[in-house]
Amino acid sequence: MPGNGKLHYLMNKKHLLELKNVSVSFSPGIYAIKNVSVSIKPCAITSVIGASGAGKSTLLRSINRMHELYPNIKLSGEISLDGKNIMEMKPIEVRRRIGMVFQMPNPFPAMNIYQNVLSGYKLNKIYLSKAEKDEIVEKSLQDVALWDEVKNSLNKSALSLTVGQQQRLCIARTLALQPEFLLMDDPTSSIDPICTNRIEELMYRLKDNHTIIVVAHNLSQASRISDYAMYLEKGELVEYDISNVMFVAPKDKRTERYITEQIE
């Protein structure tokens, strides 16, 4: 579709992520998430809200198969990416296409800044020339507005950065692999308000060609940044709607109670 970059992109990359009756349990009969069915809107930000223990992190982890790192965990139902069951794909491929950013920045301590950005390529055993590496590092760090701050210290340890810079580095490391989806589990909880703004602005820019699912730090962040919102309670997806609609006029009593409690 000439003249419309975004639509053109959408036609090439469908970004269809669907969950059908997904349940996850850590022990028999006890569900961390229960029967969740949802079709995630592409090239938009969906926030996940709910009380502690509601299942927000478990939901995000199951979407890129990170739940498999927990022993005894069981997942039932189906998660599909562009119509393909993710359980039938290679985990490394799923995690390349669906990147994840955690609550606490977790750069690789033994690697410098440059190596951290490229670590996904190393892990995926993808060979790059020096020129390609330089280009990916610069672009990824530009994307997260960190390039100007670190361009003269790329060989310094990632741990020499502030916490906020480390979190942007972790986002750059994820973006370096050109994922279609970004799962972000409360990515601003450990950083100051200025850096939080930067990350929120970054998410806003990224949604042009990424689908983002984020566990919001609080309701005001969720309403600032998200197009759609999911409310989870005791592992159940109670409500899923356009965020402005849900936050102003929730349809379910349980959502209404949660929102009211958060505002009070």
Ligand X SMILES: Nc1ncnc2c1ncn2[C@@H]1O[C@H](COP(=O)(O)OP(=O)(O)OP(=O)(O)O)[C@@H](O)[C@H]1O
The reply to whether 54 sits near ligand X by the rule CB under 6 A is: yes
187 binds, among ligand X, Mg ion, none (CB under 5 to 8 A by kind): none
- Among 132, 244, 221, CA closest to 178: 132
Of residues 32 and 158, the one with the C-beta less far from ligand X: 32
The reply to whether 212 sits near ligand X by the rule CB under 6 A is: no
d(CA 64, CA 163): 25
Q: How far is the CB of 19 from ligand X (least distance, A)?
A: 15
The reply to whether 218 sits near ligand X by the rule CB under 6 A is: no
Q: How far is the CB of 137 from ligand X (least distance, A)?
A: 32
Of residues 61 and 96, the one with the C-beta less far from Mg ion: 61
Q: What is the token pair recorded at 32?
A: 């961390």
Q: Quick count: other Cβ atoms within 10 Å of Cβ 41?
A: 17
The reply to whether 57 sits near Mg ion by the rule CB under 5 A is: yes
Of residues 136 and 232, the one with the C-beta less far from Mg ion: 232
Size of the site for Mg ion (CB under 5 A): 1
Q: How far is the CB of 21 from ligand X (least distance, A)?
A: 18
d(CA 79, CA 21): 9
The reply to whether 57 sits near ligand X by the rule CB under 6 A is: yes
- Among 47, 110, 91, CA closest to 262: 47
Q: What is the token pair recorded at 69?
A: 């790192």
Q: Select from 47-55, 77-85, 169-177, 193-201 the region that touches ligand X (CB under 6 A).
A: 47-55
Q: Is the CB of residue 46 less than 8 Å from the CB of residue 59?
A: no
Of residues 67 and 210, the one with the C-beta less far from ligand X: 67
The reply to whether 141 sits near ligand X by the rule CB under 6 A is: no
Of residues 32 and 43, the one with the C-beta less far from Mg ion: 32
Give the residue, chosen from 39, 70, 201, 244, that forms a contact with ligand X under the rule CB under 6 A.
Answer: 70
Size of the site for ligand X (CB under 6 A): 11
53 binds, among ligand X, Mg ion, none (CB under 5 to 8 A by kind): ligand X
Give the residue, chosen from 17, 22, 34, 58, that forms a contact with ligand X under the rule CB under 6 A.
Answer: 58
- Among 231, 183, 223, CA closest to 36: 231
The reply to whether 23 sits near ligand X by the rule CB under 6 A is: no
188 binds, among ligand X, Mg ion, none (CB under 5 to 8 A by kind): none
Question: Which residues sit at the interface with ligand X, rule CB under 6 A?
Answer: 26, 32, 50, 52-58, 70
Question: Which residues sit at the interface with Mg ion, rule CB under 5 A?
Answer: 57
